[in-house]
Structure formats: C-alpha cells, structure tokens
Amino acid sequence: MIERWFELTRHGTTARREVVGGVTTFVAMAYIVVLNPAILAHAGFPRGPSTVATILVAVVGTLLMALVANRPFAVAPYMGENAFLAFGLAALGVTWQERLGTVLITGLAFALLVALRTGPWLVRSIAPGLKHSFAAGIGFFLLFVGLNEAGLVKHGAGPVPVALGDLHDPRVLLAVGGFTLIAVLQTRGVPGALLLGMVTTAAAGAALGLAALPDSVFALPFAGNLSLDPIMGAADLSGVLRWHYLPVLLTLFLVSFLDTVGTLVGLGAAGEMLDAEGDFPGIERPMAVNALSCIFAALVGTSTSGAFLESAAGIREGARTGLAALVTAALFCGTLFVVPLLEPLQELGWIYAPPLIAVGVAMLPALRGVKLDDPTEAIPFAVTVAMMAFTYNIANGITAGLVLHPLLKLAAGRRTEVTSGGWVLCATCFLYYAFGLPH
C-alpha cells in the first residue's frame, strides 16, 4: 500500500530512507515550535495558544504535502514573515488581530493565483540560471544562519559588521564538534549522518550540564493555557481592507509568494526534482498546499506558512516522497502533548546549527547551473546570494535577482531571453521596493 501510494521505487528510494529523512527534517526544524510563538509574542499573541497553532499548522500542512503533493517537504510558519508581522509593523499600530487578517488575505490571494494557474506560470517564467541562483543562495543563507546559531559568527564591534565568535565557549565548541562529526559521517557514507550528529551533540551538551531542564514534560493541548480559544478565528479583515494598509498587504504577499517559489525550487534542486530546463514538474500541487496552509494558519491564529527550508536536511538523507513528510507530520503531532519539554530548545542553537551548516554546504552544487562567465547571469546570482545572506531575508535576494536579471538582459541587447512572465515578476518586485515595506 505504501509503495502504491508514494511510488517509492519510481522515485528511487526506500521506506527506510524516507523514515530517516522524515525524522531528520523534524529534528532540524523542531525549533520553530518555540521560536515562532516567541517572536509573535512581541506582537501580542498569547504564547501558549500560539504554540499550539504553530504545531497544528505544521501537522496539517505537512500532512497535505504528503498526501496531496507526494513531496518530502515539511510545512511550518515562515521565519521571515513572522518577524515582519512582529517587528516590521510595530510602528504602524496594527493589532495582532489585524496582522492575522493580513495573513488570511495573503493566503486567499495565493490560492487564487494557483487556481488561475498564474502562480505556476510565473514560476516557469523564471530563467533556469536564476532558479539555480536561488538554490545556491538558500544554501549560503542556511550556512550563514547555522554559523550564527552556532556562535561561530557574531556581531562585530565598531565598523566590523561580523566577527569570529568565542572559541572558548563550550557551546561553540560543541557545535564545531557536531558539524565535524556530521562531515566525517557523510564522507564515509553513513546513513542518517545529520540525525546522528544532532543526537550526539545534544547528548554531549546534556552531559556537560549545558541544556536547561524543562519544568514538566507533558501537557494536554487545547486546554488551559494551551487552548486555541483566544486566537482561533480572531483574524480582523475589516481592519486591514483599507488603502493605507496596501503596502502591508503587498509586502506580505510578495514575500510569502517569493519565499514559496524560492524554497520549492531550491528544495527541488537539492532533491534532483527539476527537469532539464530547471522547471519543477507538478509544482502546482505543492503550491496549492502552501496556499491552503497559509489560509489555515490565519484561521487558527499564526503567521504565514509554507514549505520549510529545513526539509533539505531530510532530502540530504535520501527522502524523495511524501512518506518522509508523513513521518514528519506524525512527529509534530506528538509534540502537541510535550510542549513543556520543547521549551528549552530556544536556548539550544548549538544542537541544530551543525546540520544547518551541512545542509547549506550540500546545496552549493547548484552553482554549476549558473553561467558565471556571463555577466547577465553572474551579477544577478551574486546580488541574490549577498542579499539573502547579509539581510537575513530570502525574499530580498529573490526580488533583487528578479529585478536585475531582465534589466541586464535588456541592456545587453538580449531581451528575447526574458519571458513575459519574467517582466511581470520584474515589475512586481520593483513595486515591492518602491511601495512595499522591504525588511
């Protein structure tokens, strides 16, 4: 039955690889259960209900990705967008109910694009070189995020923007050791290298007394301070359907759409799911799942969601089908009952940093698809990578690349290399910088 539903043989995988990949993806992204509610708390979202909403979105979205799209992609609230909702709108006096309203409108607009088949058309309109640039850029972004979470990179002093971290900090040394172990295991072809590296690092940290112990382990979801009643169905549409909120809606929609495009294409490249032209066959289904997940997120009370970058960790372990996503969804479902146990994860970046670094490195071979000897390809690539990593925002890199690529082709007298969809994306991304709220 599993073979018939997920077509494991056709995708060149096995049930064991899918299970290992699903578990690895879950461990790599479990931090979202703590970080997303912590960030949204700055906007007034109650932490307990927000935690349950975050988990529910991960469960439902990932389950849909498994059963509808048959892809090994886990779904969860996006990190960049939650920061935009929490901090980017702070000066506008927007209530958290109105912020949920913007999430709902974004999801509905995204669903309309998919229904009209405009979204997939826009994705196919992106030049192959740009798609590979997005994949490589995401790799560099994950690499930079991992280095920051590990403490190997920190904010510099004075005119120096970044500097080397404290190499005497045992947590930094544990992260270095964890990545080294993963690298050695991968070099020797050991299955489950990322998961083994994370577990070993966590065990070593616990033995050294560096992991905070939770106050309790189990708690019933949907009851007490974990009830969804305060936030479920609280989205305020009337409050945001006003002209002066148009930049907010435009920004959130573009960032969510482009995050989805960049993530799906990047993950597709990492899993060798793109065709010879660099297109993602059947991308309509995962895009539809992302749109539905975003709508569901708004209804239960959390930020925009979609396919998660950390799915690349499971793909790196061999996951190729929805069976891996099914495993990830089941594990997220289990976290509904152990929310207190997960709370200390917010202090344990040194555990999930090593696999993030390893996954970032694993995505760099996408560079081979970029014609670096062609300035019209190399310059958008370089700007895409730099903007993603150094502004800590995937959408900034994607939009910059989509604006630059057609303009440089036009300047070089090669406008026939740009599709009509490419110009639409260029104009739309220009609007993002001119009238949106880039962050």
pLDDT in tens, 252-288: 787 788 778 888 888 888 888 888 777 788 888 999 9
**281 inside domain:** yes
Residue 370 lies in a domain: no
Tens-place pLDDT, residues 332-363: 999 999 887 766 655 577 887 888 888 888 88
> In whole angstroms, what separates CA 63 from the centre of its chain?
17
Average pLDDT over residues 194-210: 85
Q: Would you put residue 70 in left (φ > 0), alpha (ψ -120 to 50) or beta?
A: left
Number of structural domains in the chain:
1
Per this entry, what is the length of the chain? 439
CA-derived radius of gyration, the chain: 21
Closest of 282, 298, 366, 345 to residue 26, by C-alpha: 345
- Residue 246 pLDDT > 80, yes or no? no
In a domain, 375, yes or no: no
Residue 241 pLDDT class (50, 70, 90 cuts): confident
What contacts 340, CB < 8 A, 6 or more positions away?
214, 215, 216, 217, 218, 219
Which positions ≥6 away from 77 have C-beta within 8 Å?
Answer: 32, 36, 54, 57, 58, 297, 302, 303, 304, 305
For a pLDDT cut of 90, what percent of the chain falls above it?
Answer: 41
Average pLDDT value for the chain: 87
Within-domain flag for 369: no
- 414 in a structural domain: no
* Residue 438 clears pLDDT 80, i.e. is over it: no
pLDDT value at position 70? 95
Domain range holding 133? 2-362
* Dist CA 151 CA 201 (whole Å): 15
In a domain, 68, yes or no: yes
Closest CA to 310 of 5, 15, 12, 35: 35
* H helices, E strands: number in the chain: 19, 4
Picking from 273, 270, 278, 264, the residue whose alpha carbon sits closest to that of residue 362 is 270
Q: For residue 156, what is the DSSP state? A: P
Residue 269 lies in a domain: yes
Which residue would you say has higher pLDDT here, 325 or 156? Answer: 325
150 is a domain residue: yes
The structure tokens 């494991």 sit at 8
Other residues' Cβ atoms within 10 Å of the Cβ of residue 281: 9
pLDDT band at 244 (very low <50, low <70, confident <90, very high): low
How much is the average pLDDT of 292-310? 93
pLDDT tens-digit profile of 189-200? Answer: 776 788 788 888
Q: Of 109-113, 234-238, 352-356, which range is least confident? A: 352-356
Q: Output the pTM of the full model.
A: 0.74
Asked whether the predicted pLDDT for residue 389 surpasses 80, the reply is yes
